[in-house]
Amino acid sequence: MTSPTIVLYPSPGMGHLVAMVELGKFILHHHPSLSITVLISPPSFNTGSTMDYVRHISATVPSISFHHLPTISLDLLSFPSMEAVIFELLHLSNPHVRSALASLPASAFIVDFFCTSSLPIAAEFHIPTYFFLTSGACVLAFFTYLPVIHNSTTESFKDMNRLLHIPGLPPIPSSDMMRPMLDRTWSEYQNFLNFSNEIPNSAGLIVNTFESLEPKPLQAIREGKCNPGGNTPPVFCVGPLLNTENQRGEYNEVECLKWLDKQPSKSVVYICFGSLGLLSAAQLRELAVGQERSGKRFLWVVRSPPTEDKSRRFLKPPEPDMEELLPEGFVVRTWERGMVVKSWAPQVAVLGNAAVGGFVTHCGWNSILEAVCAGVPMAAWPIYAEQHYNRVVLVEDMKVAVRVVEDEEEGFVSAEEVERRVVELMEGAEEVRREVEKKRVEAREAMAKGGSSVAALRKMVDLWTSALCS
Ligand code: UDP
């Protein structure tokens, strides 16, 4: 019998690519006879890191093949957001996806939700398509339910000003919906709605989560409460899939890890806003003041504020100038108990260090999973994408984070609030600490032999192999 080839199609963002490749590695680890090919969509931005990563995986995991789609040139400045760029890029890549699928004997096509426009192509070739959610089941519940909300009103989320009751989730303010979806006239909203409408037509929904992390939204989806009267494909929870490239061994020489090794157990708060989160210059200074007043040890990844220059919007920000950005004397005053690092830290290794006792996070899904796997309680400070939505779930449902409260109008977080939350996170928050520890153990069990995520993977692979036999 021929071994099935599974084609993975991630969207260009690094977080999405890394999660998809980790899915490929997870499949191959348990089912080494399968073949995995990853379609790499042409990155019009951040080309350096994507290509370096792909080269690294090609060299270290030769059983994963990469198929590079041709480059598409786009006038980035004509797009309102990164999400709009990605949707357009993937749409324009479709003829190349068709050529790729025509040349590959694919038994299954696993696509990122940004790649929805490629579904009809897979249908032409009779290849079953699975969506891969790089966010949690809470976000899948929202997308499955979105057509119900859409058809019940003509208002945009930004104008609704009410609580939304999505099955399986705590009530969520309409203003906390995904940032690029707040206005229904935006093309991003239409594209995400298109994804929602295609969910019932997919062969399955693969989610980077584990059963016991999000039981309520998973139950609501599976019972059809998010798509009343419609079809709900099977849901496979195969996580937590973490970035295993981001491991201690590779970063032994990194200063911040050496520094963490010298700090007392669970004494350091780690502050980082994902791969893209930028704070204004005023907010950076305010955070510094609050952090200093808290008296707690800290490791802080500082980035330059967002640029005013429209032409540089989608480019990597310049290295931050600490002297200019942080309050006068901050680094000197806090040098014995704090460390600021420029732009990036090896996060998985940082969170896994015994000295880290709390994480101020922007609530990106990968960061959440990484904190849960390390058993580190969080303070939830969202900035963009679906992070405000995630915060509600983290704080009110999972109870693994305390909420950082911002000013309602401006979204500004005061120094007093930073001080209060950091102290609460490091000294109080008993329930949060207990819950995150419980989830840490459950995450490990899910990925171990006989665990729920391994069992879900087996079910999926059985579907692919039985289709080949029939
Ligand atoms: N990350 C990191 N160091 C940093 C910032 C981010 O290693 O200084 C990694 C982090 O470990 C995570 C990813 O980048 O795997 C960020 O993904 P997430 O979904 O949390 O947020 P996004 O950047 O996609 O908003």
> Using one digit for the tens of pLDDT, what is the confidence trace for 408-433?
888 899 999 999 999 999 999 999 99
CA-to-CA distance for 412 and 283, rounded, in angstroms?
A: 7
Residue among 247, 347, 394 to mutate when testing ligand 1 (max atoms within 8 A of CB): 347
State the closest ligand 1 atom to the C-alpha of 273, by its place in the atom list counted from 1. Answer: 5
Q: Which strands sit side by side in the sheet containing 401-403, from one edge to the other?
A: 338-342, 297-302, 268-272, 356-361, 378-380, 401-403
Show the DSSP H helices in 153-280 as ranges: 157-160, 187-198, 215-222, 255-261
As a whole number of angstroms, the distance between CA 251 and CA 55 comes to: 18
Q: Is 23 exposed, middle or buried (0-12, 13-18, 19+ CB in 10 A)?
A: buried
End-to-end alpha carbon distance in the chain: 11
Output the residue whose Cα is nearest ligand 1's atom 14: 275
The CA 234 to ligand 1 mean position distance, Å, reads: 29
Centre of ligand 1 from the C-alpha of residue 450, in Å = 29
What residues are labeled active site?
A: 16, 112
Give the number of the atom of ligand 1 that is nearest the alpha carbon of residue 368.
Answer: 20
For residue 16, the ligand 1 atom closest to its alpha carbon is 24
- Cis geometry, peptide bond prior to residue 240 (ω within 30 degrees of 0): yes
Q: Return per-residue pLDDT of the chain as tens, 470 residues.
A: 567 899 999 998 888 999 999 999 999 999 999 999 999 987 666 556 788 889 999 999 999 999 999 989 888 888 888 899 999 999 999 999 999 999 998 999 999 999 999 999 999 999 999 999 999 999 999 999 999 999 999 999 999 999 999 999 999 999 999 989 999 999 999 999 999 999 999 999 999 999 999 999 999 999 999 999 999 999 999 999 998 875 545 555 589 999 999 999 999 999 999 988 899 999 999 999 999 999 999 999 999 998 877 777 777 788 899 999 999 999 999 999 999 999 889 999 999 999 999 999 999 999 999 999 999 999 999 999 999 999 999 999 999 999 999 998 888 999 999 999 999 999 999 999 999 999 999 999 999 999 999 999 999 999 998 876 66
Question: 110, 8 in Cβ contact below 8 A?
Answer: yes
Token pair belonging to 451: 């665990």
Question: Which has the closest alpha carbon to 241: 5, 10, 55?
Answer: 10
What tokens were used for 162? 């009410």
The per-residue pLDDT for 248 is 46
Which residue's alpha carbon is at the smallest distance from atom 2 of ligand 1? Answer: 347
Number of the ligand 1 atom closest to the C-alpha atom of 387: 25
Residues 209 and 144 sit within 8 Å (Cβ to Cβ): no
For residue 252, report the distance from its CA to the centre of ligand 1, in Å: 19
pTM for the whole structure: 0.96
Residue 43 exposure: Cα atoms within 13 Å on the Cβ side: 20
Cα 275 to ligand 1 centroid, rounded to whole Å: 5
Task: Report the separation in Å between the CA atom of 345 and the middle of ligand 1, taken as the mean of its atom positions.
Answer: 9
Nearest CA to ligand 1 atom 21: 364
Q: Which of 366, 372, 381 to mutate to test the pocket of ligand 1 (most atoms within 8 A of CB)?
A: 366
Ligand 1 centroid distance, CA of 347 (Å): 7
User: Cβ < 6 Å from ligand 1: which residues?
Assistant: 15, 243, 246, 272, 274-276, 301, 344-348, 364-367, 370
Nearest-atom number in ligand 1 for the CA of 14 is: 24
Q: What CA–CA distance (Å, rounded) separates 281 from 269?
A: 21
Best residue among 83, 260, 275, 341 to mutate for probing ligand 1's pocket (most ligand atoms within 8 Å of CB) is 275
